[in-house]
A and B are shown apart, each in its own frame.
Chain A
């Protein structure tokens, strides 16, 4: 079970959270102008990254708020959590490597 640091409540076990999939997918500002390919991309296509993945979580059995996390999907190590609306943190050289 993952230990997830909610930016509002601190570290809590995974069962308090629900997963929200890939983060930073904004609903198109002008939906009527999208063609089928762009809708497909928005609705269905996902990076499915092996490595550092930005994803949404909701602390559904806690504060109830959405936030984002950076998690390495090759190790499940959570590298950072941050509030929704903030840009993806640049882990750069400080990125903690899996043991």
Chain B
């Protein structure tokens, strides 16, 4: 399959001819009777896994089934923050694998994912925050992940809009800065993977919901029942985020997951004013500025499990209160849009990328509130696990059985973010 190669020259040429002649970036595929491997879930993680299955593991017939449209779930609903400053060695290896892949992803995919390592600054507001941040910094440096401590004046120098006065409810006592962290364009990640996977022959099948998982006599996966017919597959990778429990129930697999709404909102667009990403876990504020000029703001999860893709207003106003205290100049900005995504949360807030008790069925889930940052790494490791029927050393600790065996990777208590 030949695809148009994107370049500055191609852009200029098309621009001079009125932007006619751009081709669709991927086919609208219809399901074939059978595939070597099928990925359920057309978000960044799923499309990426299909791409790496075709690219690195040379699987000939691969499909991605998506209930709605690609990138319409959490891939299109997050706040695009990328960082790898997690506490434990297992997590640091996992997330740093992703950060390293982000660095040349645009070149690899020939698609501008607008990765911008503008620095992620996590604020400390209490003595406990300061101690916890410094512990993270030391642990990160032991694991080869950059992270540094900034005093309040240094934090303000890095992010001039920040209010470091000592008369606010939660004064800034300092910050941990990961300079390699930043943001990327979330939709472009889904589209870039879709285009690159399609070019390698992967069928991307939208509006196709999985309604049943058929097993053969020895209990291995044999086929998927879908709203677009029966699709044979001996290897099935489920990468369905908030809906993972629902899909896996079709195969009789129970998972330690609960699905919660996580909300985000954007302001009206303004001129460049915010140079980095700022996160405050203590008071639940996550903010950056998109290249369109909107302030992109993340809130905390709602209190209860839900599949509605919406949440309560008081969660957002709580976050906006915090934002307005830290950045008083934003008080008169109007918010344009807010929305929710459904995030699948594990008890230890670490993901699962693993084989399941059903032969041929694999799962990539439990990314909770922070899956976007891991997209390339997660997809790469999931493809490895599916193709070889064994985990890559990086995702080997992220099993379902860790809950039975007591090997939790407890990033919840480590509070890389507030949950």
Instruction: Indicate if B255 sits at the interface (CB-CB under 8 A).
Output: yes
Cα–Cα distance between A21 and B304 once the two chains are bound (Å): 7
Give chain A residues whose Cβ lies under 8 Å from the Cβ of B256: 40, 44-46
Contact B404 A36 (CB under 8 A): yes
User: Does A29 touch B at the CB level, under 8 Å?
Assistant: no
B308 and A19 contact, CB distance less than 8 A:
no
B312 and A45 contacting across the interface, CB-CB below 8 Å: no
Q: Find A43's partner among B254, B403, B405 (CB 8 Å cutoff).
A: B403
Q: For the complex, is B262 an interface residue (Cβ under 8 Å from A)?
A: no
Chain B residues within 8 Å of chain A by Cβ, number: 24
CA separation between A66 and B84, bound complex, in Å?
39
Is there an interface contact between A14 and B312, defined as CB atoms closer than 8 Å? Answer: yes
A19 touches B303 (CB 8 A): yes
CB contacts (< 8 Å) of B259 on chain A: these are 48, 50, 73
- Cβ–Cβ < 8 Å partners of A55 in chain B: 304-305
Assign chain A's interface to a size class.
Answer: 20 to 34
On whether the beta carbons of A1 and B308 are closer than 8 Å, the reply is no
A71 pairs with B304, CB closer than 8 A: yes
Known: A45-B256, A46-B258, A48-B258. Contact between A40 and B403, CB under 8 A? yes
List residues of chain B with CB within 8 A of the CB of A71. 304
**Interface assignment of B313: CB less than 8 Å from any CB of chain A:** yes
- Cβ–Cβ < 8 Å partners of A75 in chain B: 308
A8 to chain B, nearest CB (A): 20
Q: Across the two chains, which residue of chain A brings its CB closest to B259?
A: A48
- What is the CA–CA distance of A14 and B257 in the complex, to the nearest angstrom? 23
Question: Do B308 and A76 touch (CB < 8 A)?
Answer: yes
Closest to A46 in B: B258
The answer to whether A74 touches B308, judged by C-beta atoms less than 8 angstroms apart, is yes
Q: State whether the Cβ of A2 lies closer than 8 Å to any Cβ in chain B.
A: yes
Write the chain B residue with the least CB distance to A13.
B314
Instruction: Assess whether B405 is in contact with A36, with CB atoms less than 8 Å apart.
Output: yes
Residues of B within 8 A of A53 (CB): 305
CA distance A55 to B310 in the complex (A): 19
Closest chain B residue, CB of each to CB of A19: B303
Q: Which residues of B contact A44 (CB under 8 A)?
A: 256, 347, 403
Residues A40 and B308 in contact in the complex (CB < 8 Å), given A46-B256, A46-B257, A48-B257: no
**Known: A1-B314, A48-B257, A48-B258. Contact between A40 and B246, CB under 8 A?**
no
Tell me whether B226 is interfacial, beta carbon within 8 Å.
Answer: no
Q: A36-B405, A46-B256, A46-B258 are in contact. Are A2 and B312 (CB under 8 A)?
A: yes
Give complex CA distance A74, B308 in Å.
5
Known A18-B303, A46-B258, A48-B257: A73·B308 in contact at CB below 8 Å: yes
A26 in the interface (beta carbon within 8 A): no
Chain A CB within 8 A of B306 CB:
yes
Q: Mark A7-27, 1 if CB is under 8 A from B, else 0.
A: 000000011011101000000
Closest 8 CB pairs of A and B: A48-B245, A44-B256, A19-B303, A40-B404, A1-B312, A44-B403, A19-B304, A50-B307
Apart from the given pairs A48-B259, A73-B307, 10 other A-B contacts in the complex at a CB distance below 8 Å = A1-B312, A14-B314, A40-B256, A43-B403, A46-B257, A48-B305, A48-B344, A75-B308, A76-B304, A76-B310
A interface residue numbers (CB < 8 A to B): 1-2, 14-15, 17-19, 21, 36-37, 39-41, 43-48, 50, 53, 55, 71, 73-76
- A–B pairs, 9, beta carbons within 8 Å: A15-B314, A37-B404, A40-B256, A45-B254, A46-B257, A47-B245, A48-B246, A48-B257, A50-B259
Binding site for A on B (CB under 8 A): 243, 245-246, 254-259, 303-308, 310, 312-314, 344, 347, 403-405
